């Protein structure tokens, strides 16, 4: 009787090869972050292609109420915020953690804003405006 062994979950050829200087995606992201901080705009294009799908999936899993478009909007806002604030990245931690922190805060802001709009909070009128006739720049008539 011949027993079949289960195939390995990942083929060895999918791992980076030290002889070809290939990097794992996480290592590539960290290296690109340093290039981005140095002002290399070409590195942003490469970083975007790596980070975009991961950020969209992260945001979508973080807030199950978000549809695909919401998750993409938050991912885009996160990458824009990272681009604008790359100089604040100290390098003390991982770039991936810094970027995911931005995405988590962007997602929370988006969720709060959307929840506020759904409750109708944008329709609140100040109490001094209720029942007061429009003045059109004139004083109200006297008694």
**What is the mean pLDDT for each group of 10 consecutive residues in the chain (143 residues)?**
38 38 70 85 89 94 92 94 88 90 95 81 58 58 58
- pLDDT value of residue 76: 94
What is the Cα–Cα distance from 58 to 50, expressed in whole angstroms?
Answer: 13
Conformation bin of residue 39: beta by default, left when phi > 0, alpha when psi is -120 to 50:
left
Quick one: tokens of 98? Answer: 């810094």
How far is residue 39 CA from its own chain's centroid? 21
Q: Provide the pLDDT for residue 131.
A: 60
Residue 78's pLDDT is what? 95
Q: State residue 134's pLDDT score.
A: 59
- Would you say the C-alpha torsion 93, 99, 104, 109 has a positive or negative sign? positive
Contact (Cβ atoms closer than 8 angstroms) between residue 36 and residue 47: yes
Q: What is the pLDDT of residue 17?
A: 40
Looking at residue 87, its pLDDT comes to: 85
Q: Given this model, what pLDDT does residue 7 score? A: 37
Cβ contacts of 122 within 8 Å, gap of 6 or more: 116
> pTM of the predicted model, to two decimals?
0.64
Q: HSE-up of 36 (CA within 13 Å, CB side)? A: 26
pLDDT at 81: 94
Please give the pLDDT value at position 92: 85
Residue 42 CA to residue 36 CA, distance in Å, equals 8
CA-atom Rg of the chain in angstroms: 25
């Amino acid at each position: 009787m011949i027993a079949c062994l289960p195939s390995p979950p990942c083929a060895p050829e999918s791992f980076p090869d030290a002889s070809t200087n290939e990097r794992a995606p996480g290592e590539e992201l960290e290296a690109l972050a340093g290039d981005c901080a140095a002002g290399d705009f070409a590195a942003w294009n490469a970083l975007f292609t790596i980070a975009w799908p991961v950020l969209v999936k992260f945001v979508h899993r973080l807030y199950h109420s978000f549809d695909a478009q919401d998750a993409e909007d938050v991912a885009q806002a996160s990458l824009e915020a990272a681009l604008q604030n790359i100089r604040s990245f100290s390098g003390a931690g991982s770039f991936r953690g810094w970027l995911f922190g931005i995405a988590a805060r962007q997602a929370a802001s988006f969720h709060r804003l959307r929840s506020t709009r759904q409750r109708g909070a944008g329709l609140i009128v100040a109490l001094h405006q209720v029942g007061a006739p429009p003045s059109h720049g004139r004083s109200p008539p006297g008694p």
